[in-house]
Amino acid sequence: MPFRLAPRPKVSTASAPGAVQIWVGTRSRRLWRRPLVLVLVAAGLSGGLLLLGLSFRLGLRLMLDPEALPQTLARLTRSQPEALPPAISLEELRQQAEASQQQVGEPLRLELSGAKDREVLIVPVLEATGAIAALHLFASEDKGGELRAIATLPTAALPKDTVLAPWLSSPQAPTAAPANFDFTRVVALPAPPVATDGLWFTLEGSWQQQGLTLRYGQLLHVDSQAQRLELLTPWSSPANRPPQWADLDGDGPSDLVIDETVGLEPALRGLQVIPGPRLQSVSWVRVPVDAGAQAGDYQQALRLARGGLWHPAQGQLATLKAGLAQAWNPAAEAQLRLMERHRAITRQQAEQDWSTPTQHILALLIDGRWEPALTRLEANPELLPTLLNRLGVDQGRLWNRISAAAALPDPPAAVYVWGGLAIKAQQNQPTNRDGATPDWLNRQSVPAAARQRLAKVLATLTTTQAQAVASAKAGATAAIAAQPPSAQATENIALPPITAFIGQARPISAPQSGYAAPGQSLDAALGQWYAIDVQAVNQSQAWQRGTGSVSAGAAPAAVWPVVQPAAQASPQLLRWVSPTTGVSAPLTVRGFSLTNGPVTLLATGPATNASALPPLVFSQGALMWLDANQGQTAEPGAIAATATAIFGDQPLPADFASALASLTQHSIDLTGDGQPERVLTWDETALTQLKNWRVQVEPTVVKTIILSADDRVLYSDMFAPQTVVALTNPALDGPVGLLVHQVGRYELLSWQAASQQFE
């Protein structure tokens, strides 16, 4: 439907059980029951004490190893072998699927060693949406013989928290994601170089977010006799890579590595394949060997790994391997080799050529090269505001690396300088998430030279900001001087602030000219730049087209206080995956341009690829979408009114009412008169039905008709080249506006009481 940012799963609810009957009777005088009661009470107390003991044991284990709970739950929730279904044929399965409005997917043939005369297939059953609902295992004793089902396995979508887990420590987390992620395909993993029991597959799906493709799935195992299917560990990869076979434990490449990397921060998840089969995650918490007196050193190596200091972590664990000798085991080897893989990635990033100096400095920090990173910053102090912004939005990874390095026996002095900069960056944040408290430096043994370097770097920040403000004032003065006196006077005019805006984004290279907001710059090193053509603003508690009362000849210094509230209200960039589904990401407005007359905002944000509609930009909270899953079935009166709007005086098709019974209706007050209007939306299926009746509907994906309480048509785009994509938020006061997409651009339609139309 047109007001949906992301699809939501359908949730079915079961009715509550019936009323509980309470039987009341007279007190029994049979004394022989008292001993039985005492026995039952004693048994209950014993059971309670046993449960309390088990709970305490589990709680203690979680304190010592936080990964124990996920591992325990994984063992409890592993897919159990399904009871064999009736031995139906493949044709019977197709018939059952069609009766349930499902379809049978493309069978996947298994290559089983030692079973040349036997044919075995995995057959998926798909929902109408394309999601995999179940997997069936079919086999025939003779090739070419009748295939019969021998096992089945229902599948369920992965929850959002599981799929988006790699973003838990990233400031780039997706802001618009479905609650559940469906599987859409079955992919065979390549045979591992070292033989393992059974065959390996993965149920997979993909999701587009912020210009990247997230690949997710769940590992699937088929036993060597092809008698059962078993789902194992779920996984997701923001790098769009499937699980890869690797040799982590030294027993050959029969382990799996999943790339969970987001941005520059490497994150590789290791899974050891243990007979059963069972998958055991490589832990950065548990010491898997009897380290004896060296257990403390082993824990320190794991702390360094958790902090992202892969180089010293790998070096310390390699030293422990030589000392522990015979006590070393495959689980410890897996930790060491996974550290080596992370170290190789950070080293490669630190040594490669970068197009922007800020990315190079971040790569040096991630590799633990504190002094080279600081030297580059001291040589380019203009980069400090950008780096402070990066440290400010950090979700803990960089700070964990700083604090872990400071805890080393002889930390580099530059670590303390970066710690002080991180604390400075956190002062501008509403909450302190990473533990960068102001007194951290006071609790460290900071050399005097390091404190002096920190003070000098922070002094350059003050100078840089002062220069930016002076440059902005000078530019504003020059712009005013170049304008006629009538335009110069606008600097002293008090304009009402813009509280929200809606615009359309155009990717551009770094701006060659424009007004930089105080404390900002128009540096190319800040990332992907966008020019935002403002389509509408909320000013004086009302929506206005264009930039409202901001005139084309206004001085930049006078304009910035007007646009500043909206520019700093967490603007969002929405990339449309389809005409009804979008993915949003935050933007940073750094200035604006007045060279072409209207205000054009200049902002930076994540890069985007091509989308179904032009990228949309809006202040957070400015727009709202109606959830298609919360709509109602259209009322008969509404259907009759739409029939008149579509067919006029022509005879209606005989099945008009029944064919549009699934039409979605939302009731909401759009005009501000206290009476709810009815919003009816035609999706692709309903529009196809109209075309079958030879109605010349304009070929846009979604169409909308809005009716008043007395069934008058207030808006219709059935025969107009436009479609409604969003509504303005009623919380901003005034009537609700309709944001429509026309050919190549967005337009905000407002309610006009005089004409009783949205225009």
- Position with higher pLDDT, 487 vs 680: 680
pLDDT computed for residue 485 by the predictor: 44
| pLDDT at 231 exceeding the cut of 90 | yes
Question: Which pLDDT band holds residue 737 (cuts at 50, 70, 90)?
Answer: confident
- Specify the residue for token string 């067919």: 647
pLDDT computed for residue 74 by the predictor: 39
pLDDT computed for residue 23 by the predictor: 26
Q: SS in 3 state form for 296-356?
A: HHHHHHHHHHHCCCHHHHHHHHHHHHHHHHHHCCHHHHHHHHHHHHHHHHHHHHHHCCCCC
pLDDT computed for residue 357 by the predictor: 83
CA 207 vs CA 176, 210, 236, 238, 729: distances in Å: 11, 10, 11, 10, 28
Alpha-carbon distance of 291 to 316, in angstroms, equals 13
pLDDT computed for residue 493 by the predictor: 42
Residue 528 CA to its chain's centroid (Å) = 20
Query: Hey, is 145 helix, strand or coil?
Result: coil
Per-residue model confidence as pLDDT tens digits over 352-367: 888 678 889 999 999 9
Q: What percent of the chain has pLDDT over 90?
A: 26
| pLDDT at 433 exceeding the cut of 50 | no
CA 310 vs CA 332, 436, 755: distances in Å: 15, 21, 68
CA angle 602, 603, 604 (to 5 degrees): 145
> Who contacts 725 (Cβ-Cβ below 8 Å, separation ≥6)?
2, 3, 579, 613, 616, 739, 740, 741, 746
| pLDDT at 50 exceeding the cut of 80 | no
pLDDT computed for residue 705 by the predictor: 86
- Position with higher pLDDT, 524 vs 44: 524
Under 8 Å between Cβ of 562 and 550: yes
Among 68-82, 499-513, 603-617, name the one with the lowest average pLDDT.
68-82
Under 8 Å between Cβ of 235 and 243: yes
Q: What is the CA radius of gyration of the chain?
A: 32
Least Cα distance to 140 among 90, 85, 84, 198 occurs for 90
pLDDT computed for residue 583 by the predictor: 78
Strands (E), 156-248: 158-159, 180-181, 185-188, 199-209, 212-222, 229-237, 244-246
Among 34-48, 114-128, 316-330, name the one with the lowest average pLDDT.
34-48
pLDDT computed for residue 243 by the predictor: 95
Alpha-carbon distance of 258 to 273, in angstroms, equals 13
Residue 158 β-bridge partners: 181
Alpha-carbon distance of 583 to 604, in angstroms, equals 17
| pLDDT at 321 exceeding the cut of 70 | yes
Residue 728 CA to its chain's centroid (Å) = 24
| pLDDT at 440 exceeding the cut of 80 | yes
Question: Which pLDDT band holds residue 255 (cuts at 50, 70, 90)?
Answer: very high
> Residue 63: is it exposed, middle or buried by C-beta count within 10 angstroms (0-12/13-18/19+)?
exposed
> Who contacts 589 (Cβ-Cβ below 8 Å, separation ≥6)?
517, 532, 567, 568, 571, 601, 602, 603
Quickly count: other Cβ atoms within 10 Å of residue 756's Cβ: 12
Alpha-carbon distance of 252 to 237, in angstroms, equals 24
| pLDDT at 330 exceeding the cut of 90 | yes
Per-residue model confidence as pLDDT tens digits over 146-202: 888 888 999 999 998 899 888 876 666 665 678 899 999 999 998 777 767 788 999
Q: What is the mean pLDDT of residues 694-710?
A: 76
Alpha-carbon distance of 368 to 379, in angstroms, equals 19
Question: Which pLDDT band holds residue 304 (cuts at 50, 70, 90)?
Answer: very high
| pLDDT at 67 exceeding the cut of 60 | no
| pLDDT at 471 exceeding the cut of 60 | no
- Position with higher pLDDT, 220 vs 144: 220
Alpha-carbon distance of 667 to 630, in angstroms, equals 11
Q: SS in 3 state form for 450-496?
A: HHHHHHHHHHHHHHHHHHHHHHHHHHHHHHHHCCCHHHHHHHHCCCC
Q: What is the mean pLDDT of residues 414-437?
A: 74
Question: Which pLDDT band holds residue 741 (cuts at 50, 70, 90)?
Answer: confident
Quickly count: other Cβ atoms within 10 Å of residue 360's Cβ: 20
Alpha-carbon distance of 701 to 698, in angstroms, equals 9
Alpha-carbon distance of 265 to 259, in angstroms, equals 11
Alpha-carbon distance of 230 to 223, in angstroms, equals 8
Under 8 Å between Cβ of 565 and 497: yes
Q: What is the mean pLDDT of residues 121-128?
A: 93
pLDDT computed for residue 585 by the predictor: 81
| pLDDT at 58 exceeding the cut of 70 | no
Q: What is the mean pLDDT of residues 623-630?
A: 70
Least Cα distance to 751 among 718, 719, 717, 727 occurs for 727
- Position with higher pLDDT, 173 vs 615: 615
Alpha-carbon distance of 592 to 531, in angstroms, equals 8
Under 8 Å between Cβ of 119 and 109: yes
pLDDT computed for residue 710 by the predictor: 82
pLDDT computed for residue 284 by the predictor: 94
Mean pLDDT computed over every residue of the chain: 77
Q: What is the mean pLDDT of residues 120-137?
A: 92
- Position with higher pLDDT, 341 vs 544: 341
Q: What is the mean pLDDT of residues 293-297?
A: 92
Per-residue model confidence as pLDDT tens digits over 69-87: 344 333 333 444 444 455 7
pLDDT computed for residue 509 by the predictor: 84
| pLDDT at 131 exceeding the cut of 90 | yes
| pLDDT at 61 exceeding the cut of 70 | no
Among 80-89, 469-478, 719-728, name the one with the lowest average pLDDT.
469-478
Alpha-carbon distance of 141 to 155, in angstroms, equals 27
Alpha-carbon distance of 4 to 702, in angstroms, equals 12
pLDDT computed for residue 467 by the predictor: 53
DSSP string, 597-666: SS-EEEEEE------SS--EEE-TTSEE---GGG-EEPPHHHHHHHHHHHHTTSPPPTTHHHHTTT-EEE
pLDDT computed for residue 300 by the predictor: 93
- Give the predicted TM-score (pTM) of the model: 0.58
Quickly count: other Cβ atoms within 10 Å of residue 341's Cβ: 16
Alpha-carbon distance of 276 to 79, in angstroms, equals 13
Alpha-carbon distance of 252 to 191, in angstroms, equals 13
